[in-house]
Amino acid sequence: MKIVIDERIPALAHRLAPVANVQALPAERITPATVADADALVVRTRTRCDARLLDNSRVRFIGTATIGTDHIDLAWCAGHGIKVVNAPGCNAPAVAQWVMSTIGHFLREKDYTPDRLTLGIVGVGHIGSLVSQWARHWRFRVLLNDPPRALAEGAENFTDLDTLLSQSDIITVHTPLTHNGPYPTYRLIDGRRLRLASSCALLLNAARGGIIEERALGDFRGNIAIDCWETEPVPDPDLLGRAYVATPHIAGYSLEGKLRASAHMLAELKRHFSLAVPDLPAYPDSFSPASIEEVTRSYNPMADTAKLRGNPADFEHLRNTYPLRHETHYFFRQ
């Protein structure tokens, strides 16, 4: 069997080589020609998996070593018998590290104390839940918005979005990007809702570009921290210039997060194709909350901001050559 793998997914190609014909390719070389005779495809977000790529291929399995699946035409794949799997939660500690380090630097710069502030979290999945745990440890008042969870679990622990926006001093977004369904998130926070957030001092997006309506941010008076851009890989120059933190979609780029995703992809491939290869090492993603000092010591988003501001045209290069950092809890084990 033949498996095509994005070359920036670590450890996976080497582990599969004894049992498959493995081609590890840069994302730009994953094309209809290179996947035509492949049985399986393992990608990152930069590979759009749809009819244009797959229509004349024999691919029957797609793994994305990411949390999100908005780069995959799920309906088309389902209609053509292609199994799709992702890696939920793989980079949650890394994204939480980016969020909480940004907040930690902001608190110190402004001389704010968490116990006097309200943090609003929009989307309480793997990442939002981890951010919530750490924020409560820092003694923030925390508001949670997650309509699917509120429907399933009861509304008492959740807040409606408009109330969260109007009451939060800091707001961080952690939803998937969806255009349809009962809870679409494309431009969920638009101009009207940004006006509700008039008391917000810091708005963070490390989820997906397009969840916050970027063109409406011109009137937003608070600070902005952005990792995921609506127009990437070409960040809006005005937004780049005024953002408190601006990074090239690398919030989840930790060594441990990448290896978690690889281990998950290997397990799914083994299950689907009955492959006899050893598992990859496991990296736990559940920890006790980290302190402000620990998080800010483990990662400084200002350094990545300076690099992107100095080279905005190199967004993709900065992302593709990013030196994977250690997550907070592994940083102190080196």
As annotated, the active-site residues are 208, 232, 249
CA separation for the pair 169, 149 (Å, rounded): 23
Q: Is the dihedral of CA 132, 133, 136, 138 positive or negative?
A: negative
Type of residue numbered 176:
P
Using alpha carbons, select from 148, 144, 117, 149 the residue that is nearest to residue 133: 144
Provide the angle, in degrees to the nearest 10, between the axes of the packed helices 92-110 and 255-273. 160
Q: How far is CA 142 from the centre of its chain?
A: 21
CA separation for the pair 146, 126 (Å, rounded): 12
Q: Which helix (H) or strand (E) holds 317?
A: helix 315-320
8 A C-beta contact, residue 288 and residue 96? no
Q: Is the dihedral of CA 87, 185, 98, 228 positive or negative?
A: positive
8 A C-beta contact, residue 318 and residue 247? no
Residue whose entry in the numeric block shows the structure tokens 């018998």: 81
8 A C-beta contact, residue 1 and residue 42? no
